[in-house]
Amino acid sequence: MPDTNSSRTPDETLFDRVVEALRTVYDPEIPVNIWELGLIYGVKTDDAGAIAIEMTLTAPSCPVAGEMPGIVQRTVAAVAGVTDCTVDLVWEPPWDPSRMTDEAKVQLDMFY
């Protein structure tokens, strides 16, 4: 799971709902959700319900590069208690398979 401990606020319930929403978003070419793939680098919540997400893609040339941030934004914005959501697409550090959870590695038969 991505390291988001430094981004957490006292509103763990909202954070947990946001993570559950992120688990419903899938890379269209990989049958694993973006949370388990390690594409989410950070989730910050504030007391007013604003969410800031920092994410990446598996590669800059990913066919959904133009669409994925909007999909994530709309999915998270629909979570109860979210008042605003921004999604920043970043390329540093670059994504690599070591960011995937063990669950994702098992799903993709990459566990060794």
Do residues 25 and 71 make contact, with C-beta atoms less than 8 angstroms apart? yes
- Ramachandran bin of 81, using left for φ above 0, alpha for ψ from -120 to 50, beta for the remaining angles: left
Cα 65 vs. chain centroid, distance in angstroms?
14
Q: What is the pLDDT of residues 19-68, one digit of tens each?
A: 999 999 998 888 899 999 999 999 999 999 999 999 999 988 888 888 99
Structure tokens at 14: 């909202």
* pLDDT score recorded for residue 83: 97
Q: What is the pLDDT of residues 94-107, one digit of tens each?
A: 999 999 999 999 98
Q: Beta partners for 4? A: none
Average pLDDT in the chain: 88
Q: What are φ and ψ of residue 40, in 5° steps? A: -95, 115
Peptide linkage before 94 cis (omega within 30 of 0)? no
DSSP-H helix ranges across the chain = 12-22, 34-37, 68-77, 102-107
Who contacts 24 (Cβ-Cβ below 8 Å, separation ≥6)? 33, 75
Q: Which domains does the chain have, with CATH numbers?
A: 5-107 (3.30.300.130)
